[in-house]
Amino acid sequence: MSGCKRFPDGLASKICRIIFQNVQNQSLSQSDRCNVYTLIARFLDTRLEELKKMEADFVLGFIQVMDTEKDPRNLMTCFQCARTIILNFSLGVFVEEMFEVTSCYFPIDFTPPPNDNYKITRDDLIKGLRGCLSATEKFAEYTYPLLLEKLTSDVQSAKLDSLQTLSECVELYGIKPLKEFQTSLYNCIKSEIFSSGNPAIEQAALEALSGIVRTLSKSLLEGPDGPVHNYILEILQDCKRYMTGEDNRLLVPVCRLLVSCAEGSDSACCQVLQDVIPNLIGLYNKSSINSQRKLVLEMISRFVRVVGTYNQGQCHKVFLTYIPELSTIIKSALIDSSSHLRMTGISGVNEMLKVSGEDTQVYTELILDKTFNDQDKDVRKSCLEPLKTIAEKHTDILESIVIPKVLERLKDGLKNTVKGSEDVDNEINAVLSIVTISYNSLVMVSKELLQVLSEKSVTGKENDKAEQRTNNLVSCLLTVIQKNLDDKKSFEYLYSNVVLNIYKTVIQNSLSSTSVLHSPRIINSFSRCVQCIAIRCDNSQLQALYSLVTKIFLHGSTSDIDMTDGSFNPLDVSSPCQQTQMVSILTPVICTCNEKLIDEDEYVQKLLNLSRTSPHRTTQTEACKCLAGIVNKHPDILQTIDLSDIEKTVQNKTSESRLSDLQIIIWLTKALVMRGHQRSQKNILFLMSLLSDPDMGREVADGFNTILTDIKSFDTTGQDTRKNYLRVLSAMLKTLPKQVLINELPPLFPLMVHSLLSDDLELQTSTMDTLYDLTHDAPEVVAKHIDSVIPQLLKLAKEQTSMKLRQSALQCIGVLTVLPTHTVLPYKVQVIKGLEKALDDKKRLSTCHEGSNVPTLLANCLDHITSNINMYDLEDFPDEYLINKMIHRLKRQKKLNNSTLRQLLVPILEHLDLDGVYVTEGTIKLIWRSCPNLKVISLKDCGYVSTDNLMEQLLKVSTVLAK
């Protein structure tokens, strides 16, 4: 009732007063106390303005109700209520009392009991309590002493909680209450940073110190008279003794502490830099030990990183004065004999490049030198980060120095065939992949890579090594393409230039007798490059791309890619395998185009011929893939393919083309399954019948893997394509043997959940049928995903478009009860609340449990109520459907009369069916008085009452008269 929208004004405050005055909450059971807190929480949510008028009475009343509460379930609600009260009520003289009643639980010490069904964690309670303590600055004078007390304890969890609470409260509390405690807080924080040994506590201490500095920096007083200046000065004087160079054991924690101060504000950062940077420079120059110099340089890099967070603040100007000395230090580190110091120097360069544009060219030259010439592999790898920074922040240097030098190095490296040259290739490719992130860099790099690839033609013993190195280049091109797909200008270049050059490169090389580009692995890498671009094309671009490949592959016209026509015939079985295997780079375009673009008749017979008769295994496979792509778009094309002949060949154990024809069936099945085509079921059954074949059972089993493989690419597809993938999954799950399915289920189950999110009715129903069975067969898998399954099933249980869908959803919810109790019990309230609407379903027809004569709980309840109708007052009953069900039952039992109607005719009724009931004048008057909202009434076969007078009265009640 408390959540009712028509809850009378003034009643909430009246109820709260009664509770506060007459209920001894502490003496109640846990469940009763929970009801009290829940009621107050609901009123605070829905009747806040009304309760605020109670002022101090409500505040004190709540404090007394909450006092000494210990149950964590109740405390979660108490903390929620307390925070709302603190934020919205004037606490007046009860500030300290409100603080005491909440802070007495600090710090939270709670371990959930085993098999806890309520899932309340220590963190939940901590966040609830912290929300109370951080709700008002009036708590500051009480909170700071409490935190200091806990920070000096030996309990690690208490220290962590105190530091995190300090971070959350300090800025809200403000400067004034902080002044009294700032030094004591600093001492506690310093102690934890220096000697805690617990990374979580140290990090919390650093964040708390930053919060204190940030708070003090909000003062209107600046300079030497400002609170933050004096506080930082106090800290610097305390830390100075640890930075003399005599004993550097505490250098790292001291610098971490000072970095935390610098992170507090721009002014604090200026003050810290002016004191610390000269000291660190001096320490570096004095030291002759590499490990110590490395440590100092790491600390310098931390301070430089902080400067970069202020976006040209005042501290930038301070920092600029130290750049010459810092540059000298970093350059010396880059040429040191210690690889560890060189790596630290490279990290320092990266931070300098982020903050300042000075010496960028010099740093770039040094980094490139280390990238290509350093003897240590880890040092070379660490150079990628500063090169990435140059690409992002210094594009002029990138285009004028970095890319030209890297490309020059690429050309020189390709001439080198000594051992280890592959590693150099990989490093160069890694650099190109990282720095090619803009239009100009894309043009420079892609043009050079394609130029190098077009010149690749090697023979003899070098083939294996050359193939690997060439494939690395194509992989680099693929990465470059992927990184630039989102930029409109860059994509236009990829579409209009790069694709054409890819086709030109591979086709040109296919015409030579020997070329490293003949490798199927390399051709497939090129195919992936084309696919990445094709899937981003709009319809007009795809149409142009389709026309291009059709002219090239079907008609042998290569003039559009600046080649002589007539020499390239990849779809002719008699052509060399170097040409026929090029079908691989036709497939990505065919499979990306929608069905309206593809003129399938031109391709099918040639691809089918290649698939069945080509002597080249790679060509057969690639032709099958391309043919499958067309069938997926145009399944009706199967009428032109003699599948029965192909199946006979597969079953003929003497046929030489068994394996090639089996491959055709496998790929066509994949295409049909992804389409959700009914023919797929027949093909799957045919393949399953071959599993027992001793000669090709293994190939058939691998074929099922082929059919399912692309399910893994689900997340990268578009919304329309995803629906097809999900249809594939649904078809496969219904067809596969149960034992096979259960083994493959874990990675597939998340996709089943996606199927429930679809708007495809047939797909949703099919998925729920499978889910119903799997709940029995693989409960451990279903249990892992129950948090995502239940909400969607509840949603489908209320779906108005299909009764069948609602029934399936309810059946699935019901069967989830076979899962372990600890798994489903936390969802009890959610399910009950979620099914409230389902109780109003107009199609609730079944009175017995499915497949039995056992009445449902609803049927039993209705029987009992109708048998004892005079015992019930249904005046405010909100469910019209159930009222009409009772009327229907009594009418069927010949028990519906004025006496029973007097109980059942209530204001909620808008529709009333009295067909065949003995109705009197008293009945009509009863309807007139009790059903003011009646819109439709049926009096079929009630002729006794049809007098002019009664009809006139009746029309005053009902706007529609059903005869």
Q: Quick: pLDDT tens for 378-415.
A: 999 999 999 999 999 999 999 999 999 999 988 887 76
Interior/surface letters 882-911, b for 16+ CB within 10 angstroms, e for the rest: bbbbbbebbbeeeebeeebbebbbbebbeb
Task: Quote the tokens at residue 331.
Answer: 């350059």
Ranking 296-305, 413-422, 650-659, 770-779 by mean pLDDT, the lowest is 413-422
In the predicted model, what is the mean pLDDT of residues 237-251?
78
Q: Which of 669, 568, 581 is nearest to 617 (CA)?
A: 581
Could you tell me if 664 and 650 are in contact, meaning their C-beta atoms sit under 8 angstroms apart? no
Ranking 435-449, 680-694, 735-749, 751-765 by mean pLDDT, the lowest is 735-749
Return the ∠ at Cα 589 (arms to 585 and 591), rounded to 5°: 110
Could you tell me if 415 and 461 are in contact, meaning their C-beta atoms sit under 8 angstroms apart? no
Distance CA 231, CA 227 (A): 6
Amino acid at 525: S
Is the predicted pLDDT of residue 747 greater than 90, yes or no? no
Domain definitions of the chain by residue range: 11-135, 242-358, 359-508, 766-845, 857-962
Distance CA 106, CA 169 (A): 14
Helices and strands counted in the chain (H then E): 52, 3
In the predicted model, what is the mean pLDDT of residues 357-370?
91
Return the ∠ at Cα 647 (arms to 641 and 650), rounded to 5°: 130
Return the DSSP state at 855.
Answer: B
pLDDT at 327: 93
pLDDT at 715: 44
Amino acid at 908: I
Confidence of residue 307 (pLDDT cuts 50, 70, 90): very high
pLDDT by residue (tens digit) across 673-729?
Answer: 777 677 887 888 888 888 888 888 888 888 887 887 655 444 444 455 555 555 656
pLDDT at 666: 92
pLDDT at 713: 44
Confidence of residue 231 (pLDDT cuts 50, 70, 90): very high
Distance CA 242, CA 250 (A): 6
In the predicted model, what is the mean pLDDT of residues 780-793?
84
In the predicted model, what is the mean pLDDT of residues 475-488?
93
What percent of the chain has a predicted confidence (pLDDT) above 70?
87
Return the DSSP state at 695.
Answer: T
Distance CA 668, CA 672 (A): 6
Name the residue with higher pLDDT: 895 or 407: 407
Distance CA 606, CA 435 (A): 43
Task: Quote the tokens at residue 220.
Answer: 């209107």
Confidence of residue 450 (pLDDT cuts 50, 70, 90): very high
Name the residue with higher pLDDT: 698 or 738: 698
Q: Which of 592, 462, 567, 575 is nearest to 507 (CA)?
A: 567
* SS3 state of residue 937: strand
Which run of H or E residues covers position 960?
Answer: strand 960-962
pLDDT at 221: 65
pLDDT at 64: 94
HSE-CB of 883 using CA atoms within 13 angstroms? 25
Return the DSSP state at 905.
Answer: -
Q: Between the CA of residue 659 and those of 17, 614, 707, 919, what are the distances in Å?
A: 85, 12, 16, 81
Confidence of residue 246 (pLDDT cuts 50, 70, 90): low
| Most distant CA pair in the chain, distance | 117
Contacts of 303 (CB under 8 A, 6+ apart): 255, 258, 259, 262, 272, 273, 276, 277, 280
pLDDT at 387: 95
Q: Which of 194, 221, 226 is nearest to 209 (CA)?
A: 194
Is the predicted pLDDT of residue 600 greater than 60, yes or no? yes
Q: Which of 706, 707, 785, 714 is nearest to 745 (CA)?
A: 785
Is the predicted pLDDT of residue 921 greater than 80, yes or no? no
pLDDT by residue (tens digit) across 1-36?
Answer: 666 667 788 899 999 999 999 999 989 999 999 999
Confidence of residue 892 (pLDDT cuts 50, 70, 90): confident
Q: Which residues pair with 912 in a beta bridge?
A: 937
Distance CA 649, CA 628 (A): 19
Q: Which of 421, 432, 420 is nearest to 475 (CA)?
A: 432
In the predicted model, what is the mean pLDDT of residues 202-229?
88
pLDDT by residue (tens digit) across 522-533?
Answer: 999 999 999 999
Return the DSSP state at 153.
Answer: S
Task: Quote the tokens at residue 464.
Answer: 């294996």
Q: The whole model's pTM is what?
A: 0.67
Name the residue with higher pLDDT: 927 or 565: 927
pLDDT at 460: 36
Q: Which residues pair with 938 in a beta bridge?
A: 913, 962
Q: What DSSP letter does each residue of 181-193 carry, written as one string?
A: THHHHHHHHHHHH
pLDDT by residue (tens digit) across 806-834?
Answer: 888 888 888 888 888 878 888 888 888 78
Distance CA 750, CA 341 (A): 47
Q: Which of 896, 901, 900, 949 is nearest to 929 (CA)?
A: 901
HSE-CB of 514 using CA atoms within 13 angstroms? 8
Instruction: For the chain, report the end-to-end CA distance as a whole number of angstroms.
Output: 39
Name the residue with higher pLDDT: 564 or 80: 80
pLDDT at 950: 59
pLDDT at 459: 40
Task: Quote the tokens at residue 872.
Answer: 């019930």
pLDDT at 722: 53
pLDDT by residue (tens digit) across 836-891?
Answer: 766 655 555 455 555 556 666 777 778 888 888 887 788 877 778 888 888 888 88
pLDDT by residue (tens digit) across 316-327?
Answer: 889 989 999 999
Name the residue with higher pLDDT: 928 or 204: 204
In the predicted model, what is the mean pLDDT of residues 260-266?
94
- Write phi, then psi, for 449 (nearest 5 degrees): -65, -45
CB atoms within 10 A of CB 934: 20
Interior/surface letters 308-318, b for 16+ CB within 10 angstroms, e for the rest: bebeebebbeb
Give the torsion through C-alpha atoms of 178, 184, 185, 186, to 10 deg.
110
Ranking 183-187, 337-341, 467-471, 959-963 by mean pLDDT, the lowest is 959-963
Mean residue pLDDT of the chain comes to: 85
Ranking 94-98, 591-595, 662-666 by mean pLDDT, the lowest is 591-595
Distance CA 447, CA 470 (A): 16
Is the predicted pLDDT of residue 57 greater than 50, yes or no? yes
Is the predicted pLDDT of residue 636 greater than 90, yes or no? no
Task: Quote the tokens at residue 494.
Answer: 């990829």
Could you tell me if 178 and 215 are in contact, meaning their C-beta atoms sit under 8 angstroms apart? yes
